[in-house]
Amino acid sequence: MSSYPESAARLVERMAEAATADPARAVSFQGAPGANSHRAAMEVAHTCLPLPCFSFEDALDAVTEGRAGRAIIPIENSQHGRVADIHFLLPESGLHIVGEHFLSIHHSLMAPRCVGERPAITAAYSHPQALGQSRIYLRTRGIVPLSYADTAGAAAYVADLGDPSLAAIAPRIAAELYGLEAIEDNVEDAHDNTTRFVVLAREPLPAGCVTGPALTTFVFEVKNIPAALYKALGGFATNGVNMTKLESYQRGASFSATAFFADIVGAPGDPAVDRSLEELAFHCKELRVLGTYPLERVRG
């Protein structure tokens, strides 16, 4: 908690105390109170005890160590793409995906209150994702983007600095929590801006408990031979399984070990899914299912 700005650290301490008293109800998230991940946690579980964590690793460790029952982590944004490092962190955590949630993202420009005429805003602090989602807005106004660990933490930092020429880009609730003035709302460049979150737990959902449409997420690494990926994915086409996500990322410094992160519609136990995964495994050096969980939003 010492890494948070002072005004945020006080809120974090109170929320951590509540979560410690009832860890089963705690949902860990990365960021300071008022961050979009905080909003997502409350939407997924209205009666949860939100547990702020300074980094994604801290949020995942809170579940691994039993300090929280679940974690909620952003995985991709409709405007700015995938969240950095998540593809490495999720498999390494040993946790299982048990749900997904889509959150509409709306950013506000906020700054310390001032007496008299407000000076021009010269710079704005925020998480790199939020800065990227507001890139055009900032550039056209000559506001310098400055990176910070999270959106709400940036708001708390600006509040502690007290300089009315410095602003933060964060959810509007952060202005209320840290006593800032919301200068302008909806500063994101695309108003359909949406972030997909995944919910993680120590144990997977029991087999067969997802009765409606399901999504299965897995990571795999194909053998380093010609056409390996083409052959590995062929089973999904021949079995009629819809793959809604496929992203590659590098493992190690050799740049020869390419891993893939994928989502398919369906669940193990479905014969078509089982045949597809069996064919995939035949062409892979490694295959690991990260979770099967209810589909919150129909793809396509």
What radius of gyration, in Å, describes the C-alpha atoms of the chain? 21
**Long-range contacts at 235-239 (CB < 8 A, ≥ 24 apart):** 235/275, 235/276, 235/277, 235/278, 235/279, 235/280, 236/264, 236/276, 236/280, 239/272, 239/273, 239/275, 239/276
Could you tell me the CA-to-CA distances from 128 to 117, 132, 194, 265 in Å, in that order?
A: 30, 6, 15, 31
Residue of 29, 54, 56, 197 marked active site: 197
* Phi, psi torsion values for 289, nearest 5 degrees: -80, 125
Whole-angstrom distance, CA of residue 100 vs CA of residue 70: 12
State both tokens at 244.
Answer: 């809604």
Whether 197 is catalytic is: yes
The one catalytic residue among 29, 54, 195, 216: 195
Which of helix, strand or coil describes residue 140? helix
**Catalytic residue IDs:** 195, 197
